[in-house]
Structure 1
Amino acid sequence: MKTFLNSFLLLVFLIPATLFAQTTVTGTVTDEANIPLPGVNVIIKGTTTGASTDFDGNYTIRANTGDIIVYSYLGFIAQEITYNGQTSLNVILRQDTAQLDEVVIIGYGSTTVKDATGSLDRIDSEEFNKGAIVSPENLLAGKSAGVRITSSSGSPGSGAEIRIRNGGSLSANNSPLIVVDGIPLSGGSLNAINPNEIESYTVLKDASATAIYGSRATAGVVIITTKKGKTKAPLSVEYNLQASVGHLTDKVDVLSASQFRQYIIDNGGDENLLGAANTDWQDQIYENAEGGIHDLTISKGFENGSLRANYNLSNQNGILKTSQYRRNAINVNFEHRFLDDHLKVNLTSKGSLVDNRFANEGAIGSAVFFDPTQPVEGSWGGYFEFEDADGTVRDLAPRNPLSLLLLNDNRQRARRNISNIQFDYKFHFLPELRLNVNAGFDYEEYEGRYFSNAAAGFNNLSLGQRPGQGTYDGVNKNRLLDFYLNYKKEFESLITGIDITAGHTYQRFYNIERNTDLDTSTGDFIDNIPIPFQLILESYFARANFTLDRKYIFTATYRRDISSRFSKANRNADFPSAAFSWLISEEDFLKNSQVVSNLKLRLSWGITGQQDVGGAFPYLGLYSKGDDKSQYQFGNEYVNTIRPEGYNEGLKWEEASMYNVGLDYGLFKNKITGTLDLYYRKNKDLLQYTQVPAGSNLENFLDQNVGETVSKGIEIGINATPFRNDNFSWDVSANFTLSDVEVTKLTLSDDPNYPGTPTGPTLSGGVGNLIQIHSLGAEPNSFYVFKQVVDVNGRLLEGVYVDLNGDNTINDNDKYRFQSPTPAAFFGFTSMMNYKNLDFSFTFRGSLGNYMYNNFRSANGYADAMLVQVGNLHYGNGSTHALETGFQTNQQFSDLYVENASFMKLDNVSVGYNIPFEHINLRASLTAQNVFTVTNYSGLDPEIADGVDNNVYPKPRTFVLGLNFNF
């Protein structure tokens, strides 16, 4: 007891003595460009005593004379300094060219390219496509291997389809999860986000990178990070102006008025039904489209925080008359640090007011089909229409294309706000441990009204026809609360680094839409019965990352998801993943290589899920209320019926398992860098809306878990700097992707005679016909057609097809799967050059092996389509292809109309010049978008997402003048 007491008293006296012998050291750690480095580890060598630099690179530590202080930071060469008693010690760290130091945002945290074990790609704002871009998706087109952006419409404000590694589902959602500043969005348009405010995209591709998002990560993840203010930065004001004009690049090949007259006469038509005009209806409906974008940003840094506010006004007219888009958007970011930089609070709010006037796109089809010999105006004024004797517009007759535009008014206003507040707390007693709490919401409300004048001809109103009209409104809500703990520390031992994250997330979705429509037969307004949609997703997740000897990195991820879409028995799902990376360039045999600067091998496996299909409760037996047309009579009283809906209690998660092998490399001090990835993915228990056996349920089609697909691919990315000095720099990047998808299982039982599941959009020129199919052993959405026969002279034989099964009868059994819209390969190439204050850039992209069904030719390229109309009192125009084929009747299932739509497109070309003044920087630029397309496809555009070319809104060629002022 006495010994213990003496030891205790000695310890009590020694501890203060030791503390008083130490000196407090402060300093700042920067890089070679004098930029502060946050998060640098400052450790007394051989001890656990240490600190880390704050957001401005400052640190404080206590040290004894003779101590060795170690400064280490990812991507920089560690530096050791012997302490000699000074109170201030500033350090400059030099970049390690053998490592990639770029920080990337990943799920619930961040890492560096060096430490990433999954397949991911970061695209910064400097690499974005240039021009008057309204939809954020289009910034990314052609920039990342394995990522395909398809914009099918030229309508102002229209979005684009994003596909990462081709999705893999058949009926469920194949779009990636979009996460904006930590908020997973509920889908739909991204137009509420100002593209000029996006700092970077991070694309997560393989299951190791995406598995921490579990339930919605099967199709990949796109993380959008918006711009933030900077601490201690001076007041900055930036104004950006873009003025644009777009015009139609080409028109659909239809018969001219003179060709049409001759065709009608040559095919036995009645010349008296033709007019005397010479009207190009496509010229009538299209016009040049002007647009303007104003973007104003004010930012200011403070001692412990920053504020950034942006206002954006985008106006864009469409080349189709009466189509207009207008967006007012505000983005505010406020950041402040408390408790000696241990607590960071970040508040972000993005608000938008979007006004759309939607043109009646039926005018596009009407313009190519309407008789070109008829005038624009009618004999009694107004617009010419095909009329019956009483002056009413003839049933099923094509409508005057211009009247469809100018006598229809369809407008919508949408208000949307995406906001979140994030708390990031670094524990005082354990600074390596952080708690992150994120609360946010995505709220949208919209309202619209439409008015369609029934009187396309001036004199029709006198006949008492009622205009079509109605209103609609709706609300979409998405609420989020998540938190996670993160422990991150580096060591001077075998385990040189650990990074562990664990957390919980809760997200709730709600939407409802109401509409009121006029019954034109009675004049009464009919209200629909709104049914709200609700969905709850709850998840628990964890990720552990261990680094051994600074060159072997192991990552394990686990996520448990809960979805209200499924019954209690199937509600939960587990999604694990594992990955390993080897920094080969850190090995002794490569460490001093003058050629190889960086070399890393990546291996990963993981499982992700899919639940986005059907309604809110597809597993429940629900009842729906009938309308006034489905009533039951009780005496003299009529009551609405209540009918049961079909359901599938056994519905469960769709799952995808993916294997990935990747190689990251850097050559010649990283003047050349790149990636190579090979992946294999198997989707099973596919969520499909498919047929059920007759009498087995209340409906013939239900959401079911049926089928499997297998996807394989190779992705290549390369970046190079061929030349760089003080005055001139040239950077190029290219990516190339090979991919293949195959349906390996389609039904619950193997039936060799089952042709497959018809799919795709309904064809024009037929009633309910589909041209695509999901079939066993074929690509999804393959075209299902007859093989056209030609004679020895190469002349097409109408209605003559190959008897593929040899039974001497041509029927559906002779159809075959012929190609698909999914490309076998696609690529992108970007070049950026800077000479002093002059810059020049361009982006090419394209695809190979994608096919298109030319529905315009199939629906309008034969005699009957032009000559045989309802009542035989008018004619319709058609495709010039009818002159080539000589077809008399509809042959829409011929493989003649499935065309190779491979293409190469110059997406944009931009040239700019910086004009420096004393207090103002001015940059002027000129950009051309959709410059030209090289393709053998006969239609207007070889790039349509669903693979069916049917009167699509054409994409304009746009020229943009930009001025940027920075005060």
Structure 2
Amino acid sequence: MVKHNYSKHRSWSRLYCQLAFLAPLSLSTLPNLAGAHPLFAMEKVDSKGVWQQQISGKVVDATGRGLGGVTVREKGGKRSTSTDMNGQYTLAITTSNPILIFSSVGYIHQEVVASAASVVRLVAQEDMLDEVVVVGYGSQKKTNLTSAVSQIDAKVLQNRPSPTVVNMLQGAAPGLVISRNSGRPGAQGLNMEVRRATSANGVVAPLVVIDGVISSEGTFMALNPNDIENISVLKDGGATAIYGAQSAGGVILVTTKKGQKGQSRISLMSNMAWQMPANIPKRLSLIDEMNYVNTARANAGLAPEYNEEDLNYAVNGPTFVLGSNGQWRTYNQENLIDQVVKKSFTMNNTNLQFSGGSENVTYMASLGNMSQAGMFKVGEDHFTRWNARANISAKVNEYIKLDIGSAYINQATDNPQDGGYGLDGGGNGILRQFFSSRMRFPLFNEDGTYYRSGTSSAFGYALLKDGGFNRDRSSTYFNNATDHTQAGERFGSEIDV
């Protein structure tokens, strides 16, 4: 017991000596809180035997004003605190001379060694304000803009498994709404809206400007995403002031890539994606469907449609059974949807790009291919797009610079014939037929001909496989030229074939 008391007394004596030693240091340092050294106010051991040290300091901005609400935490530790309205902070640390992390919204995070953390100067993230945005027929820094503009750079668009650049813009810019009414390759029915702009005539589509030339939405959707340098979305009245009434629905400004002076570069990019149909309801098995039909008839006070022999055939029997009346009875076991719809299908993107140039002439040329398969196992169902582009910039003399761009787009779409019923699940659409027909009716007879009795899905299958297909081919030529002089001019053309 005596030994225990002596040990305890010695511990307090040691702490007393430490405090006595630190007291003069603390008093002499207090006037220099904003100086070059931090203030170590106290060193102690907590109730759990963990060594601690109190460290204080101040956080200021570029003008020297104290910043409140800045988070200060020990790197690798769980302890943190926040600065008060004057930028002052005090933090208990558990390691000797640790690294402190200072973070605040709108400022660049900093890591500072504790011994140099008495005054920490945070720097505002002004790089976002210095970003150059294309507006109208020129460009300026975002910090100088008063209208609502969103900027999307090439990093958002590169190497993403999407069939069009419009698909890639979903969620990329606030206020830009992308919707579609179909998943058919090459015929998605894509629609773009900026802030849901409407008029008495309905939705107002945004104005699309590619390299300074007003273009159609179709041309924008068909661009090679790897050819795009950046996209600016103008979303308010400031756009109307630049482009007039035609931009009432907002403006989408597209700038394509240009060459860079220096050594020639060749890049090849290729990716493959697997797509899967979503939200396809599962069908009941044949025996479950028969039991549900019998239950429904019993609830309606009717006799069952299927007897015990039918139920036995549904589990163990063949597909075709010759009845006593000389008519074939069918007990198809194969899933109708699986005979028509793929589990997955592919999409491929390949892009070859050349760029380079000298002090006076730069160039960029590219060739891209995108191919997408459809979801149907039978019939023609696929989409292919080829893109070619060449951009050349030439410095003629000290006063004149020319930008010349030329592009070619070829698209080929093959979709199954739907007989006027449509491919979706509405009305008598082809897919609806496969969901509404009885499972027991097969697609084919034993001799391979189409099964034509009852509510068979064979009609829809025959349309997909043998009813022909819709073929759509289109070519677009896009040319533009810009001269950069004190009185610059820009002209261009877009030709659809």
TM-score by length of 1: 0.33
Ranges in structure 2 where 5+ consecutive residues have no aligned partner? 1-123, 307-326, 424-428
Change (3 A) 1:113 1:400: same
Which of these residues, 331, 334, 353, is aligned with residue 297 of structure 1? 353
Does residue 1:278 correspond to 2:307, yes or no?
A: no
Is contact 1:281-1:401 (8 Å) kept?
no
Offset of residue 386 of structure 1: 3.8
Which of these residues, 190, 194, 203, is aligned with residue 160 of structure 1? 190
Offset of residue 399 of structure 1: 5.3
Offset of residue 402 of structure 1: 2.6
Residue number in structure 2 paired with 1:405: 464
1:228 alignment partner AA = K
Is contact 1:183-1:420 (8 Å) kept?
yes
Distance in structure 1 (CA, Å) of the matches to 2:126 and 2:387? 41
Change (3 A) 1:257 1:220: farther
Residue number in structure 2 paired with 1:424: 484
Residue number in structure 2 paired with 1:941: none
Does residue 1:118 correspond to 2:147, yes or no?
A: yes
Offset of residue 412 of structure 1: 1.6
Change (3 A) 1:182 1:256: farther
Does residue 1:323 correspond to 2:381, yes or no?
A: yes
Change (3 A) 1:368 1:210: farther
- Greater shift, 218-227 or 96-105, is seen at 96-105
Does residue 1:437 correspond to 2:494, yes or no?
A: no
1:404 alignment partner AA = L
Secondary structure of the residue that 1:117 maps to in structure 2? Answer: coil
Residue number in structure 2 paired with 1:349: 406
Residue number in structure 2 paired with 1:252: 281
1:209 alignment partner AA = A
Is contact 1:203-1:223 (8 Å) kept?
yes
Offset of residue 125 of structure 1: 1.4
Which of these residues, 250, 254, 261, is aligned with residue 220 of structure 1? 250
Offset of residue 159 of structure 1: 5.6
1:127 alignment partner AA = V
Distance in structure 2 (CA, Å) of the matches to 1:274 and 1:137? 51
Deviations 1:793-852 (Å, cap 9, x if unpaired)? xxxxxxxxxxxxxxxxxxxxxxxxxxxxxxxxxxxxxxxxxxxxxxxxxxxxxxxxxxxx
What are the residue-to-residue correspondences of 1:76-475 with 2, within 5 Å?
Answer: 97=126, 100-128=129-157, 131-157=160-186, 158=188, 160-169=190-199, 171-188=201-218, 190-230=220-260, 232-265=261-294, 266-267=296-297, 268=302, 275-287=330-342, 288-321=344-377, 322-340=380-398, 342-359=399-416, 360=418, 361=423, 362-386=429-453, 400-407=459-466, 408-425=468-485, 434-445=486-497
Is contact 1:261-1:274 (8 Å) kept?
no
1:310 alignment partner AA = S
Offset of residue 149 of structure 1: 1.7
- Greater shift, 137-146 or 276-285, is seen at 276-285
1:440 alignment partner AA = G
Is contact 2:157-2:226 (8 Å) kept?
no
Is contact 1:334-1:348 (8 Å) kept?
yes
Distance in structure 1 (CA, Å) of the matches to 2:202 and 2:278? 35
Offset of residue 413 of structure 1: 1.4
Secondary structure of the residue that 1:118 maps to in structure 2? Answer: coil
Change (3 A) 1:356 1:435: same
Change (3 A) 1:280 1:167: farther
Secondary structure of the residue that 1:229 maps to in structure 2? Answer: coil
Distance in structure 1 (CA, Å) of the matches to 2:360 and 2:330? 76
Distance in structure 1 (CA, Å) of the matches to 2:248 and 2:284? 47
What are the residue-to-residue correspondences of 1:810-959 with 2, within 5 Å?
Answer: none
1:143 alignment partner AA = A
Offset of residue 325 of structure 1: 0.8
Distance in structure 1 (CA, Å) of the matches to 2:397 and 2:159? 42
Is contact 1:129-1:139 (8 Å) kept?
no
Change (3 A) 1:366 1:291: same
Is contact 2:361-2:394 (8 Å) kept?
yes
Change (3 A) 1:273 1:379: closer
What are the residue-to-residue correspondences of 1:772-787 with 2, within 5 Å?
Answer: none
Is contact 1:345-1:423 (8 Å) kept?
yes
What are the residue-to-residue correspondences of 1:295-694 with 2, within 5 Å?
Answer: 295-321=351-377, 322-340=380-398, 342-359=399-416, 360=418, 361=423, 362-386=429-453, 400-407=459-466, 408-425=468-485, 434-445=486-497
Is contact 1:129-1:138 (8 Å) kept?
no
Distance in structure 1 (CA, Å) of the matches to 2:221 and 2:127? 40
1:299 alignment partner AA = S
Deviations 1:321-350 (Å, cap 9, x if unpaired)? 33201111101111111122x112111112
Is contact 1:281-1:372 (8 Å) kept?
yes
Distance in structure 2 (CA, Å) of the matches to 1:351 and 1:312? 11
Distance in structure 1 (CA, Å) of the matches to 2:386 and 2:239? 35
Offset of residue 124 of structure 1: 0.8
Offset of residue 250 of structure 1: 4.1
Secondary structure of the residue that 1:234 maps to in structure 2? Answer: strand
Is contact 2:444-2:451 (8 Å) kept?
yes
Residue number in structure 2 paired with 1:24: none
Q: Which has the higher strand share?
A: 1
Offset of residue 170 of structure 1: 5.0
Change (3 A) 1:237 1:98: closer
Distance in structure 1 (CA, Å) of the matches to 2:287 and 2:200? 47
1:339 alignment partner AA = N
What root-mean-square deviation, in Å, do the aligned CA atoms of Structure 1 and Structure 2 show? 2.7
TM-score by length of 2: 0.62
Secondary structure of the residue that 1:131 maps to in structure 2? Answer: coil
Secondary structure of the residue that 2:230 maps to in structure 1? Answer: strand
Secondary structure of the residue that 1:352 maps to in structure 2? Answer: strand
2:196 alignment partner AA = N
Residue identity (%): 25
Is contact 1:193-1:350 (8 Å) kept?
no
Offset of residue 99 of structure 1: 7.9
Ranges in structure 1 where 5+ consecutive residues have no aligned partner? 1-94, 388-393, 426-433, 446-967
Change (3 A) 1:370 1:311: same
Is contact 1:201-1:223 (8 Å) kept?
yes
Is contact 2:239-2:247 (8 Å) kept?
no
Secondary structure of the residue that 2:163 maps to in structure 1? Answer: coil
Ranked by relative contact order (alpha carbons within 8 Å, sequence separation 6 or more), the top structure is 1
